[in-house]
Amino acid sequence: GKGVAVFTSGGDSQGMNAAVRACVRMGIYLGCKVFFIKEGYQGMVDGGNNIVEANWASVSGIIHRGGTVIGSARCQDFRERPGRLKAAKNLVERGITNLVVIGGDGSLTGANLFRQEWTSLLDELLQNSQITQEQRQKYPILHIAGIVGSIDNDFCGTDMTVGTDSALHRIIEAVDAIVSTAYSHQRTFIMEVMGRHCGYLSLITAVTSEADYVFIPESPPFEDWPKRLCDKLEQERQAGQRLNIIIVAEGAVDRTGKPITAEQVKKVVVDNLHQDTRITVLGHVQRGGNSSAFDRVLGCRMGAEAVLALMEATDDTEACVVSLEGNQAVRLPLMDCVLRTKAVAQAMADKNWELAVELRGKS
C-alpha cells in the first residue's frame, strides 16, 4: 500500500484529533500504510520515534479530545534547507510520499514549498549517497493535502476552519458566566477574544451574546469611537440594562492601524462614565477543551476527503486543501487559497479594510 503520513502543525485546535483519526482509518480502509508524524515539522526533521506507523486502534478514544494527541510545534529547522533535507530522507526511508498536513496557512505554505522542492531535495540526498538510486526513482512526487485547523476562521477557501465552532462554544460559555456576575454588580465587562488578525470569533460572540459594542480588525472605528462607545453604553443603562459587555478582538486596531486594547477601552469607560469596569482576557481557554459535535464531524469529513484526494492524485495533481463550501467537502488548489489569505493580510496591512472584507467574503 501507499505510504501516507499525517501531522498537525502550528497552534492546535479542537477537532484536529477527529481529522487525524479519519485520516488514519480512511487510509487503512483504502489499504495504505499510515504513519503519524509527531510534533509537527520538528518530528519530520528529527525522524526516529517521531514517525510511527498507526493502526485502527491507535486512534480510538480521541474523537472528542481537544488539542492534538500527536503533538504540534512551530519549527525553525524546517524553514532551512538542511532541515528539509533531513525531513525528506526520513519520509523516503519509510516509503511516505503522501502527506496530510493539518494546520494554519503558514503550515500549509510550508508543505507546498516542500512539495515544490522535493525533486531537488531527493537529488541532493542521492548525490550525498543518503538514499539509493532505486529510492530516488520510486518516489518522484510528494503529494500533499491540507486541512485547515485553527480556531481563528481566517483562511480563504473554507467556510469554517476546524476548531472555530468549539472555540465559539467556549467563548460563549465564558461570556454567559460573566454576564451573571456583571448583572449582580451592575458592572461593565470588557472581554478580549482571540483570532489574531481576524475578527470572526469576536463578531459572532458579540452577536450571539447581545454585547453592546465590538472592536474587530476588519472594521476599525472612526476617531470619535470613545464618544460613540460611551453614548451607546449610557443609552443601554438608561433603557434599564444593568450591565454592559464590550468585546475586543485581540487584533483590533483603529483607523491609523494602531492596536485598540482592552485597557484602553476600560480607561475610556472609567474616565467618562465612572462605571465599575473589569477586563477578562479569555486566552487559551478558547483553544482548549473537548470539541463540539460540529468540529468532530468537520474533522472526520476533512480527514476522509484528504486521504481520498491523495489516493486519486496523479503526477500533475497540485497540492490541495480540503475545505467546507456550503455543506460540501471540496478540494481546492492549496496555493490559490494561501495566496488569497495572504492578500487579505496585505489589504489589512495597507489599511484597505473594504478590500480585506471583500476578499474574505469570497472565501
CA dist list (Å): 271 to 236, 258, 265, 275, 281: 18, 21, 10, 9, 21
Site of grid cell 494602531: 258
Q: Which stretch binds ligand F6P (CB under 6 A): 149-157, 174-182, 240-248, 321-329?
A: 149-157
Closer residue to ligand F6P, CB minimum distance, 4 or 194? 194
Site of grid cell 460613540: 228
- Give me the residue whose beta carbon is nearest to ligand F6P: 194
Residue 151 makes contact with ligand F6P by CB under 6 A: yes
Cell readout for 162 is 476546524
* Structural Rg of the chain based on CA atoms: 23
Residue 33 makes contact with ligand F6P by CB under 6 A: no
Residue 106 makes contact with ligand F6P by CB under 6 A: no
How far apart are CB 196 and ligand F6P at their closest, in Å?
A: 4
Of 36, 13, 14, nearest to 24 by C-alpha is 36
Q: Give the residue, chosen from 46, 152, 212, 218, that forms a contact with ligand F6P under the rule CB under 6 A.
A: 152
Task: Please tell me the distance from the alpha carbon of residue 248 to that of residue 154, in angstroms, as a whole number.
Answer: 17
Q: How many other CB atoms sit within 10 Å of the CB of residue 181?
A: 12
CA dist list (Å): 96 to 74, 107, 110, 120, 284: 22, 19, 17, 17, 34
Q: Which stretch binds ligand F6P (CB under 6 A): 49-57, 120-128, 194-202, 328-336?
A: 194-202
Going by the DSSP 8-state scheme, the letter that residue 232 receives in this structure is H
Q: Which of 12, 46, 105, 152 is catalytic?
A: 152
Closer residue to ligand F6P, CB minimum distance, 188 or 323? 323
Q: Which stretch binds ligand F6P (CB under 6 A): 60-68, 189-197, 293-301, 311-319?
A: 189-197
Residue 252 makes contact with ligand F6P by CB under 6 A: no
How far apart are CB 156 and ligand F6P at their closest, in Å?
A: 15
Residue 195 makes contact with ligand F6P by CB under 6 A: yes
Q: Where are the alpha helices (DSSP H) in the chain?
A: 16-29, 40-46, 81-93, 105-127, 133-138, 164-185, 200-209, 225-238, 262-273, 293-312, 334-349, 353-361
Sketch the per residue contact string, 284 through 323, with ligand F6P: x for CB under 6 A, - otherwise: ---x------------------------------------
How far apart are CB 269 and ligand F6P at their closest, in Å?
A: 24
How far apart are CB 198 and ligand F6P at their closest, in Å?
A: 8
Q: At what angle do helices 225-238 and 262-273 cross, to 10 degrees?
A: 60
How far apart are CB 8 and ligand F6P at their closest, in Å?
A: 13
Closer residue to ligand F6P, CB minimum distance, 40 or 104? 104
315 carries an active-site annotation: no
Q: Give the residue, chosen from 11, 27, 66, 146, that forms a contact with ligand F6P under the rule CB under 6 A.
A: 11
The length of the chain in residues reads 363
Contact 267, 260 (CB under 8 A): no
Q: Any idea which residues carry the catalytic annotation?
A: 152
Positions touching ligand F6P (CB under 6 A) are 11, 104, 150-152, 194-196, 250, 287
